[in-house]
Amino acid sequence: MTLSNAEEQLMQILWKQKKAFMKDLIDAHEDPKPATTTVATLLKRMQDKGFVDYEQLGRSRKYFPLVKKKDYFGKHVNGLIKNFFNNDAAQFASFFTETTNLNKEQLEDLKQLIDKKIKKK
């Protein structure tokens, strides 16, 4: 299941804060700040989708993510490779290195990451 853009923005804040009250989420949001009712609706939808949950503390709820950021974006990247690059990671890597403005040092860093992964396998 995926998140809408608004849900994803809110989830980014929650991943960063790890646990947060609704007020904290609104305060951390960029201007213009969303209405409390909007954030409450987003949190409810995200809870229904299994992305967040909360602990009740008196009359307040402290929200926390149920899905790790790495897992969420990993699934997206894998879907991107499957849907746009015929499930060919080499095609994706070629596209990525051609369309981004990576300098030589960044490309060397990528190469080292790939070499380490190859050695592990």
Q: How confident is the model at residue 2 (pLDDT cuts 50, 70, 90)?
A: confident
pLDDT at 94 over 80: yes
Q: pLDDT digits over 55-86, tens only?
A: 999 999 999 999 999 999 999 899 899 999 99
At 72 the pLDDT is: 94
**Domains, the chain, ordered by start:** 5-65 (1.10.10.10), 69-120 (no CATH)
At 1 the pLDDT is: 76
Strand 52-57 and strand 60-65: pairing? antiparallel
